[in-house]
Structure 1
Amino acid sequence: MSDPDTGGRPNLIRRTAFPTSVSRAVVTPLQPSVVYSSPDPDALDDQYEGRARGYTYGREGHPNADVLAQMIDRLEGGQGGIITGSGMSAVTATLLGLLGQGDHIVGGNQLYGRSLRMLTQDLPRWGITSTLADPTDVAAMAAAITPATKLLLVEVVSNPTLRIADMEGIERLARERGLILVVDNTFTTPVGFPAFSRGADVVIHSVTKLLAGHSDVTLGYVLTREAGHRKAIYDTNVTLGLTPSPWDCWMAERGMYTFDMRFERAQANAAALADLIAEHDAVETVLYPGRRDHPDHNRAGALLNGQWGNMVSFRLRGGRASANALTRAAPGLAFAPTLGDVGTTLSHPASSSHRALTREGRAALGITEGFFRVSVGCEPFELLRQDFTAALDAARPG
């Protein structure tokens, strides 16, 4: 049909209505629109002031982010989760949203490397200070608290040494001192540790990892207990532009459908792999919470309800030369600083996530040049047996 305003030529710009249907799509529609049209200024007021539900501008929220947030909300047992552009943007929005100049954080001393950098190098430039303490020792956490402390930040399972925080003691400490307890639940996932129902005030996930599970999206998630905390974090996220992509949210939703199956298979592989690695003479130490020789095995059993996770760490007897030999002898194992993929990946913290620490700082955490973290995937275990046997054989010192 011709449009008389265009000299008889049809106008194709924003005038074609989306088809209506009595049936609905089984798959969530992908909606990449940056902006949404409202009928009039009053309707826009109603949306911004909470009288009506709607979308305005993609940086402030979009349908694909909300669908994904609701899925993770159900796992954590809360509602109103916020999707952010990455795991670190979730950490950033939380800390900058809840803290101000003069505030102090007590953080676990084995947080993700970039979280450690934020606490020790970036936040001090904005007048926010921190002290790092051992989260396996509640007395050490308590001793680090000052009159300016406002927030505790911990990971249930530390990265990369897989130590288990005393979550019961830390939760009790936070309640007694009136502090906000923020838990990064990325390693454990809500299946391994339902952090929200176990007392966390704020729960953070890097959706990039196990939840999405295919190394093809970058997203974060934040869930809060108090509405005021949610608003502060949401406003910070929107103001700083830590916006999640609709495409990434749509892909992560797809990955979430198989999360339970992937996590179960990866955990079974991890338990078997930890035993295999422990028997090899090139290895000095294996760290896996499900093994009885793990220093926090009993605590892990009480907290994780038999969900030991898919992460295995080990320390070679040799140094950098052995580390190089191991990765070169296993081309089928992706040597990549990530975790949570369907395939197994190897990470070398000394040259990746924890390279910003001094050699002495890494040594204090037990991270040597021969230290590796393994994110175990869903491959047939026999394939992993072959790859790791060849790699460890090549890594023997000398």
Structure 2
Amino acid sequence: MSDDPVKRPAWPQSASRPVVTPISPSVVFASHSPAALDAQYDGSAPGYTYSREGHPNASVLAAKLDGLEGATGGFVTGSGMAAVTVALLGLLGQGDHVIGGDQLYGRSLRLLTQDLPRFGIKATLADPTDVDAMRAAIQPRTRAILVEVVSNPTLRVADMAGITQLARDHGLILIVDNTFTTPRAYRPLDHGADVVVHSVTKLLAGHADVMAGYVGAQQAELTQKMLDLSVTMGFTASPFDCWLGERGLMSFALRFDKAQDNARLLADHLATLPGIRRVLYPMRPDHPDHNRAVALLDGQGGHMVSFEVAGGRAAAEALVQAAPSIAFAP
């Protein structure tokens, strides 16, 4: 029996089009001619050639994230850490120095302090709530600053106005991880940042079934440097994750608002309990960065709450066991 019929994929002819983005899992894309392929490679014609370099689902998701963040030509990566990595390695070189916030996500801290030095890039950690501490960390070869607007997981609020001005004064690239804040509360590029990165895995996609990241900027030169590295390193997200991420964005605003309402209620309730030593939520008056959070985030405290249990690890273990309806999923 001939298998020719299954070797020739063809889209059915239709005068209509789907209203939901189709999943395009193809790894390779056929061109009409060598000349057409050349035009795609030199950028004079749009199109796809190999999915590591880009595919339709990644383009659709990136365009929607660009719209949320006010970026142009952003791209999707396979994870949030892939986004942070290409932002740093794509813009820094051997001998350069970067300043990182000292309360970043754990793997971002490892990247700065253990992995980047293997590439000849030095890093210094400084308190992002204290612009003088950030200024003191500047060295002759400092090229960039990496901060989170609201830190993961301690929920400290960076002095974004001071850090942005510091970066401008010294000609440094400001890279902002906006994962916890989301563009619903703050858009870094609107306030002078050069690059914004996300773990799309978190609230943007929102259903714990997507692994993806995002990198956005407004300067095409910066974007191209980061994108080139992402393609070379194989950091492209899969079509399936991109499709699920796009689906998640459809309910993002509603989920953000509801999760934020829940976070406020939970933070206020926890503060009344005798077994809770400390509650961290930016919109609570007892938060150390409350005034800055109110001014910076326009009342958007976000969807995360951190708290400290009296009695140490044993008490924390007991709390986890006493709340079986809440998944213990770090």
Identity across aligned pairs (percent)?
A: 63
SS at match of 2:316: helix
**1:234 aligned onto 2:227:** yes
Segments of 4+ moved more than 6 angstroms: none
Aligned pair in 2 of structure 1 residues 10, 134: CA closer, same or farther (>3 Å)?
Answer: closer
SS at match of 1:255: helix
2:172 aligns with: 179
**1:168 aligned onto 2:161:** yes
How far did residue 16 of structure 1 move?
Answer: 4.3
**1:292 aligned onto 2:280:** no
How far did residue 336 of structure 1 move?
Answer: 1.0
How far did residue 10 of structure 1 move?
Answer: 6.4
1:315-339 Cα deviation digits (max 9, x unpaired) = 11111111110111111111111xx
Asked which structure has the greater RCO (Cα within 8 Å, sep 6+), the reply is 2
Aligned pair in 2 of structure 1 residues 10, 136: CA closer, same or farther (>3 Å)?
Answer: closer
Match of 1:223 among 213, 216, 226: 216
1:387 aligns with: none
Match of 1:190 among 163, 183, 186: 183
**1:333 aligned onto 2:326:** yes
Paired residues in the alignment total 330
Query: For the aligned residues, what is the CA RMSD?
Result: 1.0
Aligned pair in 2 of structure 1 residues 57, 322: CA closer, same or farther (>3 Å)?
Answer: same
2:123 aligns with: 130
1:35 aligns with: 28
CA distance in 1, matches of 2:167, 2:3: 65
2:85 aligns with: 92
2:102 aligns with: 109
1:49 aligns with: 42
1:53-88 Cα deviation digits (max 9, x unpaired) = 000000000000010011111111122111000000
CA distance in 1, matches of 2:293, 2:309: 24
**Structure 1 unaligned regions, length at least 5:** 1-5, 338-398
The letter for the 2-side match of 1:202 is: V
**1:149 aligned onto 2:159:** no
Aligned pair in 2 of structure 1 residues 223, 306: CA closer, same or farther (>3 Å)?
Answer: same
1:23-46 Cα deviation digits (max 9, x unpaired) = 110111110000000111111110
Match of 1:212 among 205, 225, 228: 205
The letter for the 2-side match of 1:112 is: Y
Bigger Rg, which one:
1
Aligned pair in 2 of structure 1 residues 210, 16: CA closer, same or farther (>3 Å)?
Answer: closer
SS at match of 2:305: strand
TM-score (norm 1): 0.82
CA distance in 2, matches of 1:15, 1:238: 28
**1:119 aligned onto 2:112:** yes
CA distance in 2, matches of 1:172, 1:16: 55
SS at match of 1:146: coil
**Structure 2 unaligned regions, length at least 5:** none
The letter for the 2-side match of 1:114 is: R
The letter for the 2-side match of 1:168 is: A
How far did residue 159 of structure 1 move?
Answer: 1.4
2:7 aligns with: 14
CA distance in 2, matches of 1:248, 1:87: 13
CA distance in 2, matches of 1:255, 1:272: 24
1:317 aligns with: 310
CA distance in 2, matches of 1:26, 1:186: 29
SS at match of 1:28: coil
